[in-house]
A and B are shown apart, each in its own frame.
Chain A
Amino acid sequence: MNRKTIASMSIIVLIMLLLQVEVIHAAVGCSLNDPDRDVKRIFPKSTGYRTQFITIAERGGESLLKQVEAELRGKFDPEYEPIDVAYAYYTVLTGKDVIGYVHGVNQKGMFGGMQIILATDLQGMIVNMYYQKLSSPESRRFRDKAFTEQFVGLSLSDFVHHDGMRGRTCPADKVGAIRDPSEKSHDDFKATLRGIKKNLILHNIFNLSSKKAESH
């Protein structure tokens, strides 16, 4: 290796090492492919958004992971949901005012990965849900607005209530009222419900709870 190459690489590595102080150590999980378009479509009055990457590892580590898994009533898949994966949060703004959030998660499906994106209002209620990626031969049925719009108006409490019913019928169980749109992909329907609930749990812990704590 010649001296010029060594010198150049040394400078770059040195700068990189100096930057370590404030670096988030994580791979990004599910960020939006086209955030400007998506944010404008869902929040037409928006003028901008702020992107933030948050990991379970940095916010609480193993103990937080156990808390999330307990709320989810299921274990995280180390392949799709490693503890150090960064979840992307888009805080939607009109001028300086926060008007909502957009956030996505990766979820293992029957035929491959799915990326489930939620847009929520300031209280955590879903205002839009869509699949950014969906590996399913019945993708068209799942992406149909007749299915995705059934999630609008729901929040984490509706999923918690649904889990509490344990299969029993309840008129207030809004999640239980949503029907599987597919013919042969029921596991993808269940994966969708899991992914949405996981998304809401993480958003509640990472953003809404901390905002509530700040306001108190």
Chain B
Amino acid sequence: MHKSHRGVFFGRIIYHNGRFNLATRTGLLAMSIVVLTTVPSQAATDSLYAEANLIGGYSSTERWLGKSMSQRNSLGLEYFRKFSNEYGDYLTFDLQVRLAYDSSLPRDDAWAIEVHNAWVEYKIGLGKKIVAGHFAPAFGLEPLIDTHGTLMQTLAPMNIGFKKDWGVGFSGMLGDYDYQVAAQLGSGMSVRRRDSSGILTGRIGTPAGRDLQYGLSLLYGETLKVKGAGTIPRPELARPDAVLKKRVGLDAQYLYGSYLFKGECAYGEDDGMQVLGALIEVDYTVPEVQELELQLQGSFWDRDLSKRETERVPLTAGLQYKVTSDLTVRAAWSTDTLSNNSMNKDQMFLQLYYFAPFWE
């Protein structure tokens, strides 16, 4: 069978010429929600949240900005549900959806639906879980840290190219360590396959909840690079073929007093070219005003070690202040002065982030 006619689940109706059609994507999402909310259950615990993300910035090269690397002006919802029976929990469902506006695009193309979390997790025993849907690849800090609404991000967007991907995964315990493995499409937020794209990831690390946590990750597979972000409508491909990626990574977090140190690094190949990247971040909670957190992050990404062609070397200083339990103000200033890339030398962002029960 020709690559472009390979069927997934139901053949050409939902997957044709390397594309899942719009009706299929919307239908699958809607069907998933309906099915999950009507599954018979002795007890179910639900939560529904509303989210508003207002962001603006200024760049020394592009002037006024309406988005950061991972945040756009948006309105969103999150629905979380746990299903249980007389033997305990067996199913968890989470859906995070945003309607986002990208002011850098023409008005007709500026709106997009972003699906962030969209997963179902089925428990097959204590410590053994299968997950399916849109979730973080099992690599680095990204599966451990909630960066959904934050200006500070992990290395994942530069390293893998996206924060979450569609596929299936498994997590379990191995002695004193936890591990996760995942097989995903390699397409990020949009649902598509092209040029045998798909990734396998795995991470083993210490359990959460300790002052010092660390992990080792591996990745192998082909990813697609897209222009912009969004699930519906699907953004255009930045290049027609997939990039073969091989990675090994290390990550660690250490909580000491008011300081939280985070770090990760990744080394490997992109289509045979050696790549290397690293990130380190220090967060400081001001003891006297614990609603205020100061952050400093440095990172780099070298996409071809033989040419010393460093893509980005941003140094970012930021702060976040919790005005109320629902509203957070964030600000960040970043500079790329060590980078070979002439774009975005200096940037400043201000963000108002609201996340709260849908109504009370």
Interface residues of A (CB under 8 A from B): 1-2, 4-5, 7-9, 11-13, 15-16, 19-20, 22-28, 32-34, 36-40, 46-53, 57, 78-79, 82, 84-86, 93, 95-96, 108, 110-113, 132-137, 139-140, 143
A15 touches B33 (CB 8 A): yes
Residues A7 and B357 in contact in the complex (CB < 8 Å), given A34-B207, A51-B82, A79-B291 = no
- Chain A residues contacting B104 (CB-CB under 8 Å) are none
Question: A137 near B257 (CB under 8 angstroms)?
Answer: yes
Choose among B22, B84, B178, B358 the residue that contacts A25 (Cβ–Cβ < 8 A): B358
CB distance from B169 to the nearest CB of A (A): 15
Q: CB within 8 A of A15: which of B34, B209, B356? A: B34
Interface residue ranges, B against A (CB under 8 Å): 22, 25-26, 29-30, 33-34, 37, 43-49, 77, 79, 82, 84, 86-89, 97, 99, 108-113, 123, 126-127, 129, 173, 178, 207-209, 211, 232-233, 255-258, 285, 287, 290-291, 322, 324-326, 355-360
* Contact A25 B48, beta carbon cutoff 8 Å: yes
**Contact, CB under 8 Å: A8 / B360:** no
CB-based contact B285/A135 at 8 Å: yes
Contact A25:B357 (CB < 8 A) given known A51-B45, A112-B290: yes
Choose among A1, A13, A39 the residue that contacts B77 (Cβ–Cβ < 8 A): A13
Report yes or no: A19 in contact with B79, Cβ–Cβ below 8 A.
yes
Inter-chain CA distance A31–B355, complex, in Å, is: 18
Contacting pair B127 A40 (CB below 8 A): yes
Q: Are A95 and B325 in touch, CB under 8 angstroms?
A: no
B112, B207, B257: the one within 8 Å of A135 (CB): B257
Measured CB to CB, the closest approach of chain B to A147, in angstroms, equals 15
Residues of A within 8 A of B43 (CB): 50, 52
The answer to whether A5 and B287 have CB atoms under 8 Å apart is no
Residues of the A chain whose Cβ atoms lie less than 8 Å from the Cβ of B113:
5, 8-9, 12
| A49/B88 in contact, CB under 8 A | yes
Residues of A within 8 A of B357 (CB): 25-27, 84
Closest CB-CB distance, A28 to chain B, in whole Å? 7
CB distance from A5 to the nearest CB of B (A): 5
Could you list 19 further interchain pairs (A-B, Cβ under 8 angstroms) beyond the known A15-B34, A34-B208, A139-B257? A5-B99, A7-B26, A8-B29, A11-B26, A15-B33, A16-B48, A16-B358, A20-B48, A22-B46, A34-B178, A48-B88, A48-B89, A48-B126, A50-B84, A85-B325, A111-B257, A133-B255, A135-B255, A135-B258
Q: Which residues of B contact A22 (CB under 8 A)?
A: 44, 46
Give Cα A84 to B201, complex, Å.
38
- Pairs A-B, 8 closest by C-beta atoms: A48-B88, A33-B208, A1-B111, A25-B357, A137-B257, A112-B285, A36-B127, A111-B258
**Contact of B126 with A39 in the complex, beta carbons under 8 Å:** yes
Contacts of B173 on A, CB cut-off 8 Å?
A: 36-37
Chain A residues positioned under 8 Å from B97 (CB to CB)? 9, 12
Residues of chain B lying within 8 A (CB to CB) of residue A27: 47, 49, 325-326, 355-357
Taking CB atoms, residues of chain A closer than 8 Å to B87 are: 47-48, 93, 95-96
Q: Which residue among B43, B255, B322 has the maximum number of chain A CB atoms within 10 Å of its CB?
A: B255
Q: Specify which of B86, B88, B99, B129 lies most central, judged by the most chain A CB atoms within 10 Å of its CB.
A: B88
Chain A residue nearest in CB terms to B213: A33
- Contact check: which of A79, A84, A86, A139 meets B211 at CB < 8 Å? A139
Instruction: Please state if A57 and B77 are interface contacts (CB–CB under 8 Å).
Output: no
Q: Tell which of B26, B82, B322 touches A79, judged by Cβ atoms closer than 8 Å.
A: B322
Residue ID in chain A nearest B322 by CB atoms:
A79
Which residues of B lie under 8 Å from residue A139 when comparing CB positions? 211, 255-257
A20/B325 in contact, CB under 8 A: no
Selected A-B contacts with CB under 8 Å, 23 pairs: A4-B232, A5-B99, A5-B112, A8-B26, A12-B97, A22-B46, A23-B79, A24-B47, A26-B357, A27-B356, A34-B209, A48-B89, A51-B84, A51-B89, A52-B43, A84-B357, A93-B87, A93-B88, A111-B285, A112-B287, A135-B255, A135-B258, A135-B285
Q: Give the CA-CA distance A16 to B207 in the complex, in Å.
A: 34
- Nearest Cβ on chain A to B235's Cβ, whole angstroms: 12
Given the interface contacts A2-B108, A2-B111, A34-B207, does A12 sit within 8 Å of B360 by beta carbon?
A: no
A13 partner residues in chain B, CB cutoff 8 A: 77
